[in-house]
A and B are shown apart, each in its own frame.
Chain A
Amino acid sequence: MDLIERANKEAVRRMLAGDPVLVDVIPAEQAIPTLGERMILHAGPPIDWARMCGPMRGAVTGVACFEGWTANLEAAAEQAAAGAFALHPNHHFDAVGPMTGITTRSQPVMVVENRAFGNRAYCTINEGLGKVMRFGGNDEEVLNRLRWLRDDFGPAMGAALREMGGIPLKSLVARGLTMGDEMHQRNVACSGLTLRHLAPALARVTQDRDALARALAFIGGNDQFFLNIAMALGKAIMDPVRGIEGSSVVTAMARNGTDFGIRVSGTGDTWFTAPVEMPEGLYFPGFSAADANPDMGDSTIVETIGLGGFAMGAAPAVAGFVGAGAASEAGNFTRTMAEITLGENPEWTIPALDYFGVPTGIDIRLVVETGLAPTINTGIAHKEPGIGQVGAGVVRAPLACFREALLAFAETLGVL
């Protein structure tokens, strides 16, 4: 059908035309004026407390304490169960969040502006590894880090970005791909590049030398610092692709630890969901697959734009997370994902694959036809609240939501 081909061409054009720039860090309530008291944004498609997985519950109760809505975790859980908090997906508020993806009004969010289309997308600041809220951590240490991010680091980073006029991200990602990052599980290079850009401006806007040192050390000590930037970038690129009549391109993939959801351009903002799958991965000492929570987070937005599992060929080390996958097989993941995408990104290329562009524009028709589910690189949270990350691995998107989306898509075109 010509309509579909035209619509998809336009979708890919918009994706490739995107010009994301990291411009600011501001409190979430400023970025998202409708984000009010006792309102909690979470990762993935909509979900209520009753169906929430352990780590997401842990993050909800933790953030309720952090925001001062409850005195302790137990009270928070009781109130959550009683429906005291309004729970909504990040995606409904121009935002994304990794793993549990919890976003509330006073948390600082990074702002990525898509200068080609004028839209903005938001994501919280990556807390680092180990016991952190995005993996369901909620003890004092976790909350104290969040307070520091809110009171010190966030404002400083925002000031630095405003001072320097923002960081263009498209070329930064391109460099990161040539340095071994795939922007989901591996952000070492991009985090370093960001630090290089940010350090002089941070130094200019920070009076206190110790505060500056701590801020620099925080970025420098967190290999995943760039992940949340990549996610906001992904959201900023994909939002202008939403709602193109006749387009079968996936505009979002997101998981809440219970359901995996996708949105498709031609079917507007409807979520098509299926139960999430378990990642296959490697575990930190002391943990095993028995401890793992199913797949979770909005971070799959990076796969949606052709990074993460789709750019595995750029990051051979990550391929080792899949079973007995050899580093030399990393490129096969990328080539396989090119079977379900409409094109390749000429600006984001992978040297080891002879500068093959990352596969761009997931077409639900191709996913259903080939039976090849998007490959997602992911962290793994403990299934109980309050524990945190226990490993990392690779997971497949469930095919059922693509089939469901295809049927609805066909219906919009009167083909069913």
Chain B
Amino acid sequence: MDGSTMSDDIGKTLLNTPPKVVNLGLESFALELSQQGVAVVHVDWTPPAGGDPALADLLSKLGA
């Protein structure tokens, strides 16, 4: 992929449309966005695999 295609990609999919956000982490970010009328889905995130790094690593190897 050359630079121009890539910047077109970013232009089309990020800069030329109002952001529609998936928020993971601080909920206040999602609240502020929705108060401004920005489309946002807040993910009720918890550490994957219960926070077990070995299991999380295994999951990533298994394509999860």
With A369-B59, A406-B62, A410-B58 already in contact, 8 other A-B pairs whose C-beta atoms are closer than 8 Å? A1-B61, A4-B62, A5-B63, A369-B48, A371-B46, A406-B59, A407-B58, A415-B61
Please name all residues of chain A whose beta carbon is closer than 8 Å to the beta carbon of B48 when the two chains form the complex. Answer: 369-371
Q: How far is the CB of B58 from chain A (nearest CB, A)?
A: 6
Q: Does B55 contact A (CB under 8 A)?
A: yes
Q: Known: A403-B55, A406-B55. Contact between A365 and B46, CB under 8 A?
A: no
Compute how far the CA of A371 lies from the CA of B49 in the bound complex, rounded to whole angstroms: 6
Interchain Cβ contacts within 8 Å, total number: 44
Q: How far is the CB of A244 from chain B (nearest CB, A)?
A: 15
Q: Does A368 contact B (CB under 8 A)?
A: yes
Compute how far the CA of A5 lies from the CA of B64 in the bound complex, rounded to whole angstroms: 10
Compute how far the CA of A407 lies from the CA of B54 in the bound complex, rounded to whole angstroms: 11
B63 touches which of A1, A368, A403, A407 (Cβ 8 Å): A1
Q: Does A413 contact B (CB under 8 A)?
A: yes
Closest A residue to B46 by CB, please name it: A371
Whether the Cβ atoms of B62 and A1 lie closer than 8 Å is yes
Whether the Cβ atoms of B61 and A369 lie closer than 8 Å is no
Closest B residue to A368 by CB, please name it: B49
Whether the Cβ atoms of B50 and A371 lie closer than 8 Å is yes
Q: Does A366 contact B (CB under 8 A)?
A: yes
Whether the Cβ atoms of B62 and A415 lie closer than 8 Å is yes
Main secondary structure of the interface of B (DSSP, over half): helix
User: Interface size for chain B: under 10, 10 to 19, 20 to 34, or 35 or more residues?
Assistant: 10 to 19
Q: How far is the CB of A329 from chain B (nearest CB, A)?
A: 14
Please name all residues of chain A whose beta carbon is closer than 8 Å to the beta carbon of B63 when the two chains form the complex. Answer: 1, 4-5, 365
Compute how far the CA of A119 lies from the CA of B11 in the bound complex, rounded to whole angstroms: 54
Please name all residues of chain A whose beta carbon is closer than 8 Å to the beta carbon of B61 when the two chains form the complex. Answer: 1, 410, 415
Main secondary structure of the interface of A (DSSP, over half): helix
Please name all residues of chain A whose beta carbon is closer than 8 Å to the beta carbon of B50 when the two chains form the complex. Answer: 371, 399
Whether the Cβ atoms of B46 and A416 lie closer than 8 Å is no
Closest B residue to A399 by CB, please name it: B50
Q: Does A248 contact B (CB under 8 A)?
A: yes
Please name all residues of chain A whose beta carbon is closer than 8 Å to the beta carbon of B59 when the two chains form the complex. Answer: 365, 368-369, 406
Please name all residues of chain B whose beta carbon is closer than 8 Å to the beta carbon of A370 when the two chains form the complex. Answer: 46, 48
Whether the Cβ atoms of A369 and B49 lie closer than 8 Å is yes
A 360-377 to B, binary, CB cutoff 8 A, 1 in contact else 0: 000101101111000000
Closest A residue to B58 by CB, please name it: A410
Whether the Cβ atoms of A415 and B46 lie closer than 8 Å is no
Chain A residues near B (Cβ < 8 Å): 1, 4-5, 248, 363, 365-366, 368-371, 399, 403, 406-407, 409-410, 413, 415-416
Compute how far the CA of A37 lies from the CA of B56 in the bound complex, rounded to whole angstroms: 48
Closest A residue to B64 by CB, please name it: A365
Please name all residues of chain B whose beta carbon is closer than 8 Å to the beta carbon of A368 when the two chains form the complex. Answer: 49, 55, 59, 64
Q: Known: A4-B63, A365-B63, A366-B64. Contact between A415 and B49, CB under 8 A?
A: no
Q: How far is the CB of A375 from chain B (nearest CB, A)?
A: 16
Q: How far is the CB of A250 from chain B (nearest CB, A)?
A: 14
Whether the Cβ atoms of A248 and B46 lie closer than 8 Å is no
- Which A-B residue pairs are the 3 nearest by beta carbons? A365-B64, A1-B63, A369-B48
Q: Find the residue from B46, B63, B64 having the highest chain A CB count within 10 A.
A: B64
Closest B residue to A365 by CB, please name it: B64
Compute how far the CA of A186 lies from the CA of B35 in the bound complex, rounded to whole angstroms: 41
Whether the Cβ atoms of A416 and B58 lie closer than 8 Å is yes
Please name all residues of chain B whose beta carbon is closer than 8 Å to the beta carbon of A413 when the two chains form the complex. Answer: 62
Q: Known: A368-B55, A403-B55. Contact between A248 and B49, CB under 8 A?
A: no
Closest B residue to A413 by CB, please name it: B62
Compute how far the CA of A370 lies from the CA of B48 in the bound complex, rounded to whole angstroms: 6
Please name all residues of chain B whose beta carbon is closer than 8 Å to the beta carbon of A407 when the two chains form the complex. Answer: 58
Please name all residues of chain A whose beta carbon is closer than 8 Å to the beta carbon of B46 when the two chains form the complex. Answer: 370-371
Whether the Cβ atoms of A415 and B64 lie closer than 8 Å is no
Q: How far is the CB of A189 from chain B (nearest CB, A)?
A: 33
A-B pairs with beta carbons under 8 Å apart, 18 shown: A1-B62, A4-B63, A363-B64, A365-B59, A365-B63, A368-B55, A368-B64, A369-B59, A369-B64, A370-B46, A370-B48, A403-B55, A406-B58, A406-B62, A410-B61, A415-B58, A415-B61, A416-B58
Please name all residues of chain A whose beta carbon is closer than 8 Å to the beta carbon of B58 when the two chains form the complex. Answer: 406-407, 410, 415-416
Whether the Cβ atoms of B62 and A248 lie closer than 8 Å is yes
Closest A residue to B50 by CB, please name it: A371
Closest B residue to A406 by CB, please name it: B58
